[in-house]
Chain A
Amino acid sequence: MRIVHYVNQFYAGLGGEDSAGIGPRILDGTVGPGRLLSQVLGDEHQIVATLVCGDDHAASNAAVAQELLEMARSAHAELLVAGPAFGSGRYGLACARLVAAAHAAGLPALASMHPDNPGMSDAADAPVIAAGATSRQMRPTLQTVASAIAKLATGAALTAADGRVTPAARIGRLVEQRSAARAVELVLRRLGGDREATEIPVGGFDVVDPAGPVDKAANVTVALVTEGAVVPAGNPDRLESARATRWLRYQIDGMDALASGEWESVDGGFATTAANADPNRLLPLDAARTLEREGVIGQLHDEFLVTVGNGTSVATARRFGVEWAAELRKAGVQAAILTAT
């Protein structure tokens, strides 16, 4: 089968974060991990071309998936493989969107990434093969991917036995015992020695390693971003007040402060009276401009990014984080101030 392989700029050897903004392109033959994958695959299947896109460009622009898919078609792809992206969020999101687009268009496709990758949920119905958390697991991951490709090429559906991971859905349902009664039973089970009993697994939450400190703040571009739902008065773009499905951007170029009455918070989760009286207390544009004038920071990014954190699902919030990071990096922003409510 003619396989087209997608990798990011780093695995294509086109550069690291400095090249993360490059647009989609197609290269002949195998590149980077594609070479090893080609060896493991043997002679029956051939990687004819490699698609590449910078992580920032791909993660901040959902339309890239269609562009890449067109390139794969132009190379007469019969099967598309993306990754492995391991735990990398932007790369994982790009892989997931690409295989989702290919799968929806009827082109057999699979992606590979760690099950905790924030991109997981964007693969929709396309198969995702489990990868290790880091590239140290490259070889065993590619062996699993190669076996999955061989099976997918026969037209068979991939299952857990092939390393396929699906986000395990937790399904809400009605039960006879109300929650308070189950809580008492759970306490008694734990007191009786069953220390594993729980209805939701305990622990295992994301711990985000802070980025290193900014070397010289006076030289960097700083962005203001918020989950406090600050929008122009009247909320013209109809940002949700809870359970966000999207984020927005607004220009602050040339503005010294957010004028009361022109900006408001539509967050449904806190008392907005004080925030609306002075929106700068939610998005500190006035203070940031002062720091900019005093030379404490280099310059302020000319737009801010905003969503509402109130009741927004964890998976959606993680995806926003990946998209914001890509967006800001692409714009040359080196530091961001995230205000929360």
Chain B
Amino acid sequence: MSALRRMVHEVHTIEIGTNTRYEQHQLVVGQEQALALFADPALASVRLHVAAPGDRVRIVAPLDVVEPRSKGPGGGVFPGWMAPVNRPRGGDTHVLRGAAVLAAGHLPRNQEGLIDMSGPAADRSPFARTNNVVIEFDRADGASWQEAEVAVRRGLLRLAVHLADAAVEASPDVMEELAPPHHPGTPTGGLPRVGVITNLQTQGAFKDVFVYGHSMAGSLPTLFDPIEIEDGAVVSGQYGHPALRNPTYLHQNHPVIAELRARNGQDLCFAGVVLCPEPVEQAAKELVSTHAAWLCRAAGFDAVIVTKEGAGNADNDLMLKVDALEADGLTAVALYAELSGADGTGPPLVAGPRRGAIISTGNYDQRIKLPAVERAIGGSQLRIADADATAAVEIPTAAILSALSPLGAGWLTCRPEQQLAGQQLGETT
């Protein structure tokens, strides 16, 4: 199997200019060049903004987020969208680390969320730590929302490649070698083989995730090459539950894969990745869960971390998988957010496994007060708070983009009240 080398170019500052360029950790986004990438009959107009960490800026109704990446003039990232799937795998991928491109605004099933670039919400979203290029858009008369969504998604991917293209000639800050997963049947040195199952939401228009350009809906679980996920084989078109959303950026930088790689050869062998749909019918949920557990066993996994996207429906998928894995003798851990009410006293889970273990990514219902900001992008109103978009508001954690990340990108958890006595914020387990 091929290996991948990440050529990491750090982005420390960002601004809008005439021509796109990258030098000395500064990314300049060429205004006309960027907007031209969104030329599409479904879009009437497009506007470009930037927002940096620490800015008193609120991004309202964020949609997908993408990390700028490029494989150079020959292309190769976002297979199925921007490149053929049957191109050579691996090689070098240039990464603008610390930058992200995203769209913000109304879509029919975009549950309204936000990113605050400063303040308490900024501590909770991974996208308050990136220098963000934000696209606002207006749908063209006569175009459907579906057509507008496809146009925005394609535009974001083009823009992500366009920005990273600017760094291809620069010498990288870091080069990171990503080896293929540990091959079954080869010696482990006594270390356990640990893999990951990632469930992709598959609930139709605006609630779908694409693998090589196709919805995962209707598929059986499949073993998947993690370097293809790095190169953008998984693209999100899913706009439900902001805090429980897995934007494309988080697939490109899959947190569980990253943590497994970080400990590979020390405490464990990174055994591989299984992608799985989240069907809506019970029988299909049972089918994919049973099959995913079999696949993990057949691939020689000893333990599996299981991730999801979305809320209640997706919780059942986690439950069925963990129970199926543990019944097959594998050790399983699932990542769940809690729905225990604003005061945290209700039962935490709608549907949880009967065995295995659970990581808590925080409480969906816990409320948080956000100070006023100077500027809003994506909308002039914050409907969830019935307030002006720049106002001081109180919102549930559920509205902060990826704050409860089911892929494990967030820093929230919950603990019983009595265990908190004497502990300080920021203390680890």
Interface residues of A in 182-238 (CB under 8 A from B): 182-188, 190-191, 197-200, 202-203, 205-206
Which one, A172, A173, A271, A309, contacts B203 given CB within 8 A?
A271
Find chain B residues with CB under 8 A from A174 CB: 123-124, 411-412, 425-426
- The reply to whether the CB of B336 lies closer than 8 angstroms to some CB of chain A is yes
A184→B260 CA distance, assembly (Å): 7
Measured between C-beta atoms, what is the minimum distance from A16 to chain B in Å? Answer: 29
A315 to B346, Cβ gap below 8 A?
yes
Measured between C-beta atoms, what is the minimum distance from B19 to chain A in Å? Answer: 36
- The reply to whether the CB of A242 lies closer than 8 angstroms to some CB of chain B is yes
Measured between C-beta atoms, what is the minimum distance from A198 to chain B in Å? Answer: 4
B335 to A183, Cβ gap below 8 A?
yes
Which one, B344, B358, B405, B428, contacts A202 given CB within 8 A?
B358
Measured between C-beta atoms, what is the minimum distance from A165 to chain B in Å? Answer: 11
- Beyond A170-B417, A173-B414, A175-B426, is A187–B194 a contact (Cβ under 8 Å)? yes
A206→B354 CA distance, assembly (Å): 12
Which one, B124, B192, B354, B408, contacts A179 given CB within 8 A?
B408
Find chain A residues with CB under 8 A from B413 CB: 172-173, 175, 179, 182, 199
A243→B346 CA distance, assembly (Å): 13
A169 to B428, Cβ gap below 8 A?
no
Which one, A179, A190, A314, contacts B410 given CB within 8 A?
A179
- The reply to whether the CB of A161 lies closer than 8 angstroms to some CB of chain B is no
Measured between C-beta atoms, what is the minimum distance from A270 to chain B in Å? Answer: 6
Find chain B residues with CB under 8 A from A241 CB: 111
Residue in chain B with minimal CB distance to A166? B345
A311→B310 CA distance, assembly (Å): 9
Residues 262-275 of chain A, each 1 if its beta carbon lies under 8 Å from chain B, else 0: 00000011110100
A270→B346 CA distance, assembly (Å): 25
A121 to B204, Cβ gap below 8 A?
no
B429 to A179, Cβ gap below 8 A?
no
Which of B10-18, B70-78, B131-139, B251-259 sits within the interface?
Answer: B251-259
Find chain B residues with CB under 8 A from A268 CB: 109, 111, 240
B425 to A271, Cβ gap below 8 A?
no
Find chain B residues with CB under 8 A from A178 CB: 255, 408-411
- The reply to whether the CB of A156 lies closer than 8 angstroms to some CB of chain B is no
B409 to A180, Cβ gap below 8 A?
yes
A271→B111 CA distance, assembly (Å): 12
A88→B428 CA distance, assembly (Å): 40
Measured between C-beta atoms, what is the minimum distance from B405 to chain A in Å? Answer: 7
B355 to A202, Cβ gap below 8 A?
yes
Find chain A residues with CB under 8 A from B100 CB: none
Find chain B residues with CB under 8 A from A167 CB: 343, 345-346
A202 to B357, Cβ gap below 8 A?
yes
A183 to B398, Cβ gap below 8 A?
no
Find chain A residues with CB under 8 A from B429 CB: 175, 177, 182, 185
A242 to B333, Cβ gap below 8 A?
no
- Beyond A200-B349, A315-B345, is A173–B410 a contact (Cβ under 8 Å)? no
Find chain B residues with CB under 8 A from A315 CB: 340-341, 345-347
Find chain B residues with CB under 8 A from A180 CB: 255-256, 258-259, 305, 335, 407-409
Which one, B207, B340, B414, B426, contacts A271 given CB within 8 A?
B207
Which one, B205, B331, B338, B405, contacts A200 given CB within 8 A?
B338
Find chain A residues with CB under 8 A from B305 CB: 180, 183-184, 187
Measured between C-beta atoms, what is the minimum distance from B282 to chain A in Å? Answer: 11
- The reply to whether the CB of A260 lies closer than 8 angstroms to some CB of chain B is no
A202 to B109, Cβ gap below 8 A?
no
Interface residues of B in 329-372 (CB under 8 A from A): 331, 333, 335-336, 338-366
- The reply to whether the CB of B246 lies closer than 8 angstroms to some CB of chain A is no
A187 to B340, Cβ gap below 8 A?
no
- The reply to whether the CB of A134 lies closer than 8 angstroms to some CB of chain B is no
Which one, B263, B343, B358, contacts A199 given CB within 8 A?
B358
User: Which 7 residue pairs across A and B have the least CB separation, nearest first?
Assistant: A180-B408, A315-B346, A167-B345, A180-B255, A179-B408, A198-B357, A314-B347
List 6 other contacts, CB 8 Å, given A182-B429, A187-B194: A167-B346, A171-B414, A175-B412, A186-B357, A186-B359, A200-B336
A-B contact pairs, 5 of them (CB 8 A): A176-B411, A177-B428, A179-B409, A202-B352, A268-B109
